[in-house]
Amino acid sequence: MVSRGFHRLAMDVPLFRPAGDVSEYGEDVELFVCEACRKIEFHSLLDVAKAKSELPPLERYKQLYTYFSENKLRKIVQSENYQDEARRAAQILLNETFK
């Protein structure tokens, strides 16, 4: 999975709203796309401003994967579709959390 950046995801926007006002009806997410199968995933971040700052990719992925299950982390480590930093972060979390 390759990160395609941060986007505002707005769902269930009311029909009668002031023009251009989507700020209270959306959520900031990071978009990931699998280059092999084109699967799309949206990852909601608790603190997008912090993630948008100058965090190194390894730290950003560790923050993103903190609450993932052991099975999901193992799949990330074994998959070639994830970036090296993402796989490294998943391996670190596996070693810290589940061993």
Q: Which of 48, 64, 55, 57 is nearest to 6 (CA)?
A: 48
Both structure tokens of 74: 């193992």
Q: Which of 5-9, 31-35, 79-83, 90-94 has the highest mean pLDDT?
A: 90-94
**How confident is the model over 8-56, as pLDDT tens digits?**
777 665 555 555 554 566 777 888 888 888 898 887 766 555 555 667 8
